[in-house]
Amino acid sequence: MDFQFTEEHLMIQQAARDFAQTELKPGVIERDEHQKFPTEQVRKLGELGFMGMMVDPKYNGAGMDVISYVLVMEELSKIDASTSVVVSVNNSLVCYGLEAYANEAQKQKYLKPLATGEKIGAFCLSEPEAGSDATSQHTTAEDMGDYYLLNGTKNWITNGSTASIYLVIAQTHPEKGSHGINALIVERGMEGFAIGPKENKLGIRGSDTHSLMFTDVKVPKENRIGADGFGFSFAMKTLEGGRIGIAAQALGIASGAFELAKQYAKERKTFGKPISEHQAIAFKLADMATEIEAARLLVLKAAWLKDQGLPYAQASSMAKLFASEVAMKTTVEAVQIHGGYGFVKEYHVERLMRDAKITQIYEGTSEIQKVVISREILR
């Protein structure tokens, strides 16, 4: 196997690393503290082509591969997971979903501005009573002939108030179960579409998470993605790729925490020598480095499989499951290595620990990933 990145991969990785240091790190603590959306940073990411990385250039995308996307996600997430989740949703869920399954008119109208970052997208699946159970959609899209009448509530929606384009999963034919679900493109400002208050979250506080309410929203039939009843398959196929992005985010959070812990351990002295020379700390660092490298290989394998057009559902779930657990474990250890300073915001590791937890929850909890993996291996 070839473990060498191409020159283009290395250039993209370095560009993301530089951006994270110069554009994201200044102000990241303040954005977290005040739940401030990184508006200017996202705009600049669009200019770099990072908001539509894998989209074909004919739709204004950068035309990069999934490995490039993973490298960018890791570098951004080392510094600011709130910004990286905006990039993840726009790339993995919204742009990918539209490019893979929308018709040409929909791509021209919606995908092009999303790929440049001119507009931001949101993926609307979760509901108050249907988070992990995507088949149990209480949001309804009643077929009225030329349009669907959309009613219901979606919650935990990333980019909830900053998006302009929303991909909404809703039930049209309850008697058909999962085969009666549709995916609709909803535009901000449609009559009857309301955005709830921002959630006050433990982590990724710079990203905006909201509930969305739909009351008799008229969605043109031309805004349906795919055939009637394709919505559940659309959601599941799109989430398979989304897990690669979240796995890369978890990897970045873990890697960022490890780098901070290693540096601190080399500088902090006790009993006349750096704490990194005490075996208790050195062994912690060794375990962290090993698990991060294992997570990185799982993430890159999933990305490579997708780039090759090979099945990647199992690989993406494995990567998401393992990388998110590594992120949580690594950030806790990073706080421990910092001691009392780890509890202080200016040292960054406490924020990374808070951000790490969400990677075990969104795009399907760890338990959901185990369902996917076991299903695949037992076929």
pLDDT in tens, 251-272: 999 999 999 999 999 999 999 9
339 falls within a domain: yes
**Dihedral angle computed from the Cα positions of residues 187, 191, 197 and 198, in that order, rounded to the nearest 10 degrees:** 10
pLDDT value at residue 90: 98
* Burial bucket for residue 36 (CB in 10 Å: 0-12, 13-18, 19+): middle
> Do residue 276 and residue 354 come from a single domain?
yes
> Do residue 252 and residue 185 come from a single domain?
no
311-356: pLDDT as tens digits: 999 999 999 999 999 999 999 999 999 999 999 999 999 999 999 9
Point out the domain boundary residue: 120, 146, 179.
120
1 falls within a domain: no
Is residue 267 among the annotated active site residues?
A: no
> Do residue 48 and residue 83 come from a single domain?
yes
Locate 274 and state its tokens. Answer: 């750096």
181 falls within a domain: yes
> Do residue 174 and residue 273 come from a single domain?
no
Lowest mean pLDDT of 5-19, 127-141, 236-250, 345-359, name the range. 127-141
Point out the domain boundary residue: 90, 120, 150.
120
The active-site residue out of 129, 363, 367, 376 is: 363
Predicted confidence (pLDDT) at residue 131 exceeds the cutoff of 70: no
> Do residue 370 and residue 263 come from a single domain?
yes
Question: What is the C-alpha separation between 41 and 101, in angstroms, rounded?
Answer: 29
β-pairing, 121-124 vs 165-171, is parallel
Question: What is the C-alpha separation between 208 and 225, in angstroms, rounded?
Answer: 25
> Do residue 109 and residue 137 come from a single domain?
no
- Determine what percent of the chain falls in helix, strand and coil, rounding each to the nearest 5: 60, 15, 25
Handedness of CA 91, 365, 289, 302 (dihedral sign): negative
> Do residue 269 and residue 323 come from a single domain?
yes
- Among residues of the chain, what percentage have pLDDT more than 70? 99
How many separate helices (H) and strands (E) can be counted in the chain? 13, 9
Point out the domain boundary residue: 231, 254, 286.
231
Locate 246 and state its tokens. Answer: 């979240």
DSSP-based three-state secondary structure for 62 = coil
350 falls within a domain: yes
Domain with 56 in it: 7-120
Average pLDDT over residues 240-257: 97
Average pLDDT over residues 349-370: 93
Q: What is the pLDDT of the chain when averaged over all its residues?
A: 96
> Do residue 246 and residue 365 come from a single domain?
yes
pLDDT value at residue 379: 86
2 falls within a domain: no
> Do residue 60 and residue 136 come from a single domain?
no
Task: Please report, for the domain that includes residue 289, its CATH number.
Answer: 1.20.140.10
Instruction: List CB contacts of 176: < 8 A, sequence separation 6 or more.
Output: 229
Instruction: List CB contacts of 250: < 8 A, sequence separation 6 or more.
Output: 77, 295, 320, 323, 324, 326, 327, 356, 359
Predicted confidence (pLDDT) at residue 364 exceeds the cutoff of 90: no
> Do residue 130 and residue 223 come from a single domain?
yes
164-222: pLDDT as tens digits: 999 999 999 999 999 999 999 999 999 999 999 999 999 999 999 999 999 999 999 99
* H/E element, 233: helix 231-267
> Do residue 370 and residue 242 come from a single domain?
yes
DSSP-based three-state secondary structure for 133 = coil
291-307: pLDDT as tens digits: 999 999 999 999 999 99
Question: Could you tell me if 83 and 206 are in contact, meaning their C-beta atoms sit under 8 angstroms apart?
Answer: yes
268 falls within a domain: yes
> Do residue 246 and residue 330 come from a single domain?
yes
Find the length of the chain.
379
Question: Could you tell me if 211 and 154 are in contact, meaning their C-beta atoms sit under 8 angstroms apart?
Answer: yes
Average pLDDT over residues 219-248: 96
pLDDT value at residue 208: 96
DSSP-based three-state secondary structure for 121 = strand
Q: For the chain, what is the domain count? A: 3
For Cα atoms 225, 96, 64, give the angle at the middle one, nearest 5 degrees: 150
Question: What is the C-alpha separation between 343 and 345, in angstroms, rounded?
Answer: 7
Question: Could you tell me if 300 and 223 are in contact, meaning their C-beta atoms sit under 8 angstroms apart?
Answer: no
Task: Please report, for the domain that includes residue 179, its CATH number.
Answer: 2.40.110.10
pLDDT value at residue 132: 61
